[in-house]
């Protein structure tokens, strides 16, 4: 077991989509009085851990994800590094740190990553105790600066999704246009016109219809699509317009 770098951690904001809402995976943090065993506070944090000596930070982020969710080889991207002094300055965070990690510096820099998964692949009640999904627009009390961290991750995701087809990481392999539209609406917090959305999607050559329809739904079954990374990379070209 290698030693931790005392003032460097990674935090992963794991986004999941359940075809209704955009969710974030959070871990319960419960501080008990060491003597009376009373609950001092309960709140939640994103998944994080200290970086090990000699460990590349990207690997540290993968390690955290793997360890806390069992997931491997999923979309993971660094978005921002949080290094203010105030990030641990709440009273409860101070207590938590002193009681649980007395050897850790009170100035921890944290490299923020975000990750995209299909919510259905990670069940909230799995063996991963104390870890569950919360809708991004209805978050519980959060520890440290994790509220800001989630907001920033979401902005980053929005900007990225405007430029690149990463939304498919949040969808099952086979999906319908409606599911895709719902996803975009959740991420951007906006409504889109159904016909215009479909028009746009039909111009994306890398969203490919299958010879397959939805089954078991009480309405006209929808066409099923897959995303082809391959076609995407072969057909993409840079746009050079500048705006604002």
Partner DNA sequence: TCAAAAGTGTTGACATTACACCCATGT
Partner DNA sequence: ACATGGGTGTAATGTCAACACTTTTGA
User: Between 99 and 210, whose beta carbon lies closer to DNA?
Assistant: 210
Q: 3-state class of 232 per DSSP?
A: helix
- How many CB atoms lie under 10 A from the CB of residue 76? 19
Instruction: Tell which one of 25, 26, 51, 76 touches a copy of itself (CB under 8 A).
Output: 51
CA angle 130–169–117, rounded 5-degree value: 5
Work out how close the CB of 56 gets to a copy of itself at its nearest, in angstroms, rounded to a whole number. 5
CA angle 11–14–20, rounded 5-degree value: 155
221 touches which of a copy of itself, DNA, none (CB within 5 to 8 A by kind)?
DNA
198 touches which of a copy of itself, DNA, none (CB within 5 to 8 A by kind)?
DNA
Residues in Cβ contact with 30 at an 8 Å cutoff, skipping those fewer than 6 apart: 39, 41, 42
Instruction: Tell which one of 21, 40, 45, 80 touches a copy of itself (CB under 8 A).
Output: 80
Both tokens assigned to 229 = 């990374």
Handedness of CA 230, 184, 27, 125 (dihedral sign): negative
How many angstroms separate the CA atoms of 134 and 24, rounded? 5
| Total residues binding a copy of itself (CB under 8 A) | 37
54 touches which of DNA, a copy of itself, none (CB within 5 to 8 A by kind)?
a copy of itself
227 touches which of a copy of itself, DNA, none (CB within 5 to 8 A by kind)?
none
Binding site for a copy of itself (CB under 8 A): 5, 7-8, 51, 53-58, 78, 80-81, 83-85, 105, 107, 109, 111, 159, 161-165, 184, 188, 190, 204, 236, 239-244
């Amino acid at each position: 077991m290698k030693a931790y770098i005392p003032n460097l951690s990674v935090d992963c904001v794991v986004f999941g989509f359940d075809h209704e809402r955009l969710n974030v995976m959070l871990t319960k943090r419960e501080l008990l009085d060491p003597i009376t065993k009373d609950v001092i506070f309960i709140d939640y944090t994103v998944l994080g851990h200290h970086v090990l000596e000699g460990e590349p930070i990207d690997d540290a982020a993968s390690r955290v994800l793997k360890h806390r969710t069992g997931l491997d080889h999923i979309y993971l991207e660094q978005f921002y590094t949080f290094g203010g002094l105030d990030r641990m300055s709440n009273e409860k965070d101070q207590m938590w740190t002193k009681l649980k990690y007395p050897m850790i510096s009170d100035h921890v820099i944290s490299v923020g990553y975000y990750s995209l998964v299909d919510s259905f692949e990670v069940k909230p009640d799995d063996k991963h105790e104390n870890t569950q999904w919360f809708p991004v627009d209805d978050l519980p009390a959060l520890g440290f600066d994790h509220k800001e961290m989630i907001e920033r991750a979401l902005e980053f995701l929005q900007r990225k999704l405007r430029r690149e087809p990463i939304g498919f990481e949040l969808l099952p392999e086979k999906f319908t246009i409606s599911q895709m539209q719902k996803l975009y609406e959740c991420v951007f917090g906006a409504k889109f016109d159904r016909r215009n959305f479909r028009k746009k999607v039909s111009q994306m050559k890398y969203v490919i219809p299958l010879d397959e329809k939805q089954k078991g739904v009480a309405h006209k079954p929808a066409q099923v699509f897959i995303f082809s990374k391959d076609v995407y990379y072969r057909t993409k070209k840079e746009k050079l317009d500048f705006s604002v």
